[in-house]
Amino acid sequence: MTRFLFYPIFVFSMAIVPALHARETATPDQPGPVAIPYSDVLEVRQAEPTDHAIAYARVLESHGSTDASIPRTLPAVANTGAAGVPAIKPPDREASAAGARVDIDLFEGGKLLLTNGITTIEGGSGGGIATWATIAGREMKGGIGVQGSFTAIELPDFGWRSYGAAIGISDRVELSYVRQDFDTRSAGAALGLGRGYTFNQDVWAAKLRVAGDAVYGSPVLPQIAIGAEYKRNHDGAITALLGASDDEGVDYTLSATKLLLQHSLLVNATVRLTKANQQGLLGFGSAADGYKVQVEGSLAYMLSRRAVVGAEYRSKPDNLGLGEDDWLDIFAAYAVNNHLTLSAAYVDLGSIATFEDQRGGFLQAQIAF
Amino acid sequence: MLLTASSAILMILQQAPADNVDWDAEFGVEEEVRDPVTGELPVDPYVEDNANAGADPYDSTSLAAAFGGREGIQRIAERTVEISEADQRIAEIFVAHDMVRLKRTLGEQFCYLLNAGCSYSGRDMRSAHDGMGVTRADLNALVENLQQAMREADVPFAAQNKLLAKLAPMSGDVVER
Ligand code: HEM
């Protein structure tokens, strides 16, 4: 009882005083030892020695303990610097965790290198020509991330430029936009469009991770995502002449992606429901054909945590009867740092608008936060 | 009301304490004592079982060589803990725990899984991480630190991934939010 008389209560908060009252009247047969969390002990140890009583009282109160006679186990001051003071002052984790429930971690990152994928030609996270179940941006649960990219493809008769942006929300939802410019160069003249005629398309897409995790969890459960891509091309007059029935359309995707760590291999498979001709640049469907199921597959081998090489395949419909071919690529991606990923690929896009053997190079720079 | 009044009276009556009071003793706080031989703190009793390691070990014994054998593996585990203790992202989670023990048991777990001739004497993954509030981001941080430790030990990347392949499926027992 008397020991309490020595408390420096002129600095006590009013909140602590009632707790002390309770302590004085506590019954002796209270439940066993109370383990005081180490973070609280640190709080005590870091206080001026004369303030230890206050700090302890606060700790006890916060743990609802009222009986000073209960023995309390205190983890020994381990792994610390001199004189029991921790080498690293722990940040206020509880406060930040509580904050995370309310606020959103903006661009705080946290993903492992390359696990946000590179940007597909349709603007989402994937492997270049195939969509993956991965979510763009470096954010983790409770965070928001972004990804921006520039992609160039040089083919014998055509040139492609695309500019993409994507937002990742909580590693769960991906919203993306890409602008595609497809320059027909001299082929444009041969096609009667005029030299350098450029097809343009906007793709707005959303993807939702519905199950699984590409890296962790059950080795047989891949990360699974569903997606929808709204595509609108700006050359409806021309694509109508080619026989396309529409200048806009929606693709639906279902993707499964898993990193088989045992083999350092990333495997992806995607099913796409689409009516797009040359993924939309040549319009959508035809008088005879509409939605068809297509498949995409990627296989990538990790050389290091920064570097990966792989191959992709993507089947395509031939609604216009122009001999549209399936696509193939062999790619390499390199994460220069947490934010910059450079990719290069050799792509075989087959026949495009009757121009055969469109094989060439793909280059992409992607920035992610 | 009464409380406020009584505490106000208390405030007036009481005075500053002497500087040399041992408040640990006053509050009955006892410091846990490290084992003089192992240097480890006591833990609550549990049943030791290799199954606590969370996965079956590799069949082949050749993988262990890529990690520098038993000693190499132990060094990698210790280094992983050291890097994590200095890693601002997750250091605070480690500060509250017995790093002497963790270095030993984590080394045993790696050694057991890589079939380098150890048994695992630690707790199972769920009870070892219970209540720590580990997130997937924390797990990524730890993986990066383990990768760094393995890189420093010149473990080939494909072999690194074989160890990660054993650990990654345990995420469900470790990650709480
Ligand atoms: C799949 C990933 C993980 C594995 C395989 C793993 C493995 C282990 C092992 C074997 C122990 C020793 C248990 C014992 O001594 O009885 C342990 C304890 C511990 N782990 Fe993990 N761990 C993982 C993830 C994490 C993460 C992400 C963190 C925090 C960032 C973490 C923090 C700790 C701490 C602080 C302890 C000490 C617990 C104590 O002594 O009370 N672990 N872990």
* CB atoms B11 and A10 under 8 Å: yes
Between A36-40, A88-92, A362-366, B57-61, the lowest mean confidence (pLDDT) is in A88-92
pLDDT of residue B118: 97
B139 within some domain? yes
- CATH number of the domain at B81, please: 1.10.490.10
Pocket test for ligand 1, best of B34, B114, B142 (most atoms within 8 A of CB): B142
pLDDT of residue A146: 97
The chain-wide mean pLDDT, for chain B, equals 90
State yes or no: ipTM above 0.90.
Answer: no
* CB B153 within 8 Å of CB B163: no
Q: Is the pLDDT of residue B2 over 70?
A: no
Which residue segment(s) compose the domain that B169 sits in? 66-174
Between A12-16, A212-216, B160-164, the lowest mean confidence (pLDDT) is in A12-16
pLDDT of residue B95: 85
Q: Is the pLDDT of residue B72 over 90?
A: yes
CA distance B163 to chain A (A): 8
Q: Is the pLDDT of residue A7 over 70?
A: no
Q: How many distinct structural domains can be found in chain B?
A: 1
Write the CB contacts of A49 (distance below 8 Å, at least 6 apart in sequence).
B19, B23
The per-residue pLDDT for range A46-60, each reduced to its tens digit, is 666 666 667 677 766
pLDDT of residue A140: 95
pLDDT of residue A296: 98
Counts for chain B of helices (H) and strands (E), in that order = 10, 1
pLDDT of residue B16: 58
pLDDT of residue A271: 98
Please identify among residues 318-357 of chain A the ones whose CB lies closer than 8 Å to any CB of chain B.
none
User: Is B171's C-beta closer than 6 angstroms to any atom of ligand 1?
Assistant: yes
Share of chain A above pLDDT 90, in %: 70
* CB A211 within 8 Å of CB A199: no
pLDDT of residue A172: 97
The per-residue pLDDT for range A118-168, each reduced to its tens digit, is 999 999 999 999 999 999 999 999 999 999 999 999 999 999 999 999 999
CA distance A130 to chain B (A): 25
* More confident position, A61 or B98: B98
Nearest chain B alpha carbon to A91:
B92
Q: Is the pLDDT of residue A70 over 50?
A: no
B38 within some domain? no
The per-residue pLDDT for range A167-186, each reduced to its tens digit, is 999 999 999 999 999 999 99
Lookup: tokens for B41: 């703190």
B61 within some domain? no
Q: How far apart are CA A239 and CA B19, in angstroms?
A: 88
B167 within some domain? yes
* More confident position, A89 or B160: B160
| Residues of B with Cβ-Cβ distance to A36 under 8 angstroms | 29
Q: Is the pLDDT of residue A16 over 70?
A: no
User: Is B98's C-beta closer than 6 angstroms to any atom of ligand 1?
Assistant: yes
| Residues of B with Cβ-Cβ distance to A17 under 8 angstroms | 3, 7, 10-11
B32 within some domain? no
Q: Span A21-43, mean pLDDT?
A: 49
Bridge-partner residues for A169, per DSSP? Answer: A144, A173
- Which helix H or strand E contains A65, and what residues bound it? none
B142 within some domain? yes
Report domain extents, chain A: 113-368
Q: How confident is the model at residue B32 (pLDDT cuts 50, 70, 90)?
A: confident
Share of chain B above pLDDT 90, in %: 74
Q: How far apart are CA B78 and CA A185, in angstroms?
A: 60
- How remote is the CA of residue B128 from the centroid of ligand 1, in Å? 6
Lookup: tokens for B124: 């199972």
- How remote is the CA of residue A284 from the centroid of ligand 1, in Å? 53
Calculate the dihedral angle through the C-alpha atoms of B1, A60, A80, B53, rounding to the nearest 10 degrees: -140
CA distance B72 to chain A (A): 20
The per-residue pLDDT for range B77-88, each reduced to its tens digit, is 999 999 999 999
- Which of B24, B92, B103 to mutate to test binding with chain A, by most A CBs within 10 Å of its CB? B92
Between A21-25, A325-329, B49-53, B72-76, the lowest mean confidence (pLDDT) is in A21-25
The per-residue pLDDT for range A213-268, each reduced to its tens digit, is 999 999 999 999 999 999 999 999 999 999 999 999 999 999 999 999 999 999 99
The C-alpha R_g of chain B, in whole angstroms, comes to: 22
The chain-wide mean pLDDT, for chain A, equals 83
- How remote is the CA of residue A44 from the centroid of ligand 1, in Å? 26
Q: In a 3-state reduction of DSSP, which class is residue A348? A: strand
Between A181-185, B25-29, B47-51, the lowest mean confidence (pLDDT) is in B25-29
Measured between alpha carbons, how far is residue B18 from residues A6, A7, A114, B14, B21 in Å?
Answer: 7, 9, 60, 12, 6
CATH number for A113-368: choose from 2.60.40.10, 2.40.160.40, 2.30.40.10, 3.40.50.300. Answer: 2.40.160.40
B47 within some domain? no
